[in-house]
Amino acid sequence: MNFPRAFFFFFACCCVALMGATTGADLRGASLRFTYGNSTYEINENLAGWVQAKNDCRSRGMGLVSIESAEEHYAILEYITDYTGGRFWTSGSDIEQEGDFYWEATGALLSYTNWAAGQPNNYLEGHCVEITDQYAYQWNDVTCTDPIMYICESQSCVALH
C-alpha cells in the first residue's frame, strides 16, 4: 500500500470514528443495512455511476464496499440476491493503472478475487468492478458510468500501535 492510499484509509477511518456511525434515519435511499464482522453495509437501490456511488457513500461516512475474503463475499450475497437487476458497484478499480485492481476505499490491492470466467477483460474500457447476477454474482469489470445499484461499507477502526 503506498503512502497516499494508506494515509487516506487512516484519515477516513479516523473521520468515521470521530463522526460516529450514521443512524437508520440518515439512510437517504439505502434499502437495507446489515453487519458482518467489523463492518456495516448499506445496499442502495438508487442507480448511479461509480463516481456518484462512491461520493454518496462518502457523504454517509462510508466507502464503496471492499471485499477482502470469500466469507465476506458470501455474507454479502445473502442480502443482494433478491434484488431485481442484480448489479452492484464495489470500490474495486484499475483506473490508475490498467490491470492493477485495487480497492479505492482502502487503497489495498485486491488480495481476494472472485472474477467471473474471462474477467477482467477491459471490455469497453471497463475500469470499475461490479458484482453481477449476469455471472452468478461473481465480479466483472465494466464501464464506470453504468448506472447500477451499490453497496456502501464502514469499518470499525482498530487501534494503531
Give the chain as a 3 state SS string: CCHHHHHHHHHHHHHHHHHCCCCHHHCCCEEEEEEECCEEEEEEEEEECHHHHHHHHHHCCCEECCCCCHHHHHHHHHHHCCCCCCEEEEEEECCCCCCCCEECCCCCECCCCCECCCCCCCCCCCCEEEEEHHHCCEEEEECCCCCEEEEEEEECCCCCC
Among 9, 7, 138, 114, smallest CA distance to 63 is for 9
Give mean pLDDT, residues 124-134: 90
Indicate the domain borders of the chain.
Answer: 3-155
| 73-91 pLDDT per residue, tens | 999 999 999 888 899 999 9
Q: How far apart are CA 23 and CA 121, in angstroms?
A: 39
User: Under CATH, which number does the domain 3-155 receive?
Assistant: 3.10.100.10
Q: What is the C-alpha separation between 108 and 161, in angstroms, rounded? A: 19
Residue 158 pLDDT level (bands cut at 50, 70, 90): low
Lowest mean pLDDT among 10-24, 66-80, 107-121: 10-24
Whole-model pTM?
0.79
